[in-house]
Amino acid sequence: MKKLIFLLFLSAFSLEILSCDCKEYETRNELLKDEIDNSDLIFTADYISNDGKSFHLKVKSIYKGTLITNQIIEGYIFDSYSKLINEKGEWLIYANIEKENKININSCGLTRSRKKPSKNNNYRPPSPKLNSKQLKKFNSKRKKTALKDYKKEIDYLEKIITPLENTKTIF
C-alpha cells in the first residue's frame, strides 16, 4: 500500500502538463493586431496531410513573410501551444518559423479553416443553460459570424499587406 501511495505521489509531480492559457483580448481587432505583429508568416493554404505530429500545406496567397505560391510547407507540434492542422480545405494561417524551417501555429491565435472558421479558441462557447433549440440557434449564429469575420479578415489583410507573389523562398 505504501508503494502504491508513493507511486501515485511521484507520478503526480512528474506528469508534464499539456495545457495552456490563452491571453484574453478585449476585442478581436486587438488579437488581429497582435497576430500580425508577432507572426513571421501570414498566408492562406490548402491542407494536404498530417501524421499526428506534423502537417503539410500548399501555399495559396501570401500576406506576410517569404513564401512562394504553390509551395509545400511543413508544420510541426513544438509545444502545448502548437496547433495541428488536420482538416481538408483552405486555411488562414498565422505562423512562426521554427527549427528546420518548419512552421509553428499558436493554438491561441487566429489560424482557422474557411470551412469551419468557428472551430477556433476565439469564439465563446455557448452557455450551459441553453436547451437544444437555443443551442442550435446559437451555433448557427456563431458559424455565420465566424465566416463573416474570416472574409473581413482576408479583405483587411489584402488592404494593409500587399500580397507577395512569387517571392524568393526561405525553405
Residue 109 within a domain: yes
Q: Looking at the 3D structure of the chain, how many domains does it have?
A: 1
Q: What is the pLDDT of residue 40?
A: 95
In single-letter form, the type of residue at position 50 comes to N
pLDDT at 150 over 50: yes
pLDDT at 96: 93
Pick from 140, 121, 122: nearest CA to 130: 140
How large is the average pLDDT for residues 110-139? 79
Answer yes or no: is pLDDT of 7 > 50.
Answer: no
In a domain, 2, yes or no: no
| Assigned domain for 165 exists | no
Residue 83 lies in a domain: yes
Written as one letter, the residue type at 102 is: K
Least confident of 3-7, 116-120, 165-169: 165-169
Banded pLDDT at 12 (limits 50, 70, 90): very low
| 77 within a domain of the structure (yes/no) | yes
Alpha-carbon distance of 125 to 121, in angstroms, equals 9
The C-alpha atoms of residue 111 and residue 94 are separated, in whole angstroms, by 6
Residue 169 lies in a domain: no
Q: What CATH number corresponds to the domain at position 46? A: 2.40.50
Average pLDDT, the chain: 80
- In whole angstroms, what is the distance from residue 72 CA to residue 127 CA? 40
Q: What range defines the domain where residue 136 resides?
A: 22-160
The pLDDT value given to residue 47: 94
pLDDT above 70 (res 17): no
The helices-and-strands tally (H runs, E runs) of the chain is 3, 6
Rounded Cα distance between 43 and 21, Å, is 25
Q: What is the pLDDT of residue 14?
A: 41
User: Is 16 inside any structural domain?
Assistant: no
Whether 80 has a pLDDT exceeding 80, the answer reads no
Place of cell 499558436: 106
Q: Contact, 105 vs 95, CB < 8 A?
A: yes
Residue 5 is assigned to a structural domain of this protein: no
| Cα-Cα-Cα-Cα dihedral sign, residues 130, 133, 139, 145 | negative
pLDDT greater at residue 58 or residue 6: 58
User: pLDDT digit string (tens) for 51-70?
Assistant: 888 899 999 999 999 899 99
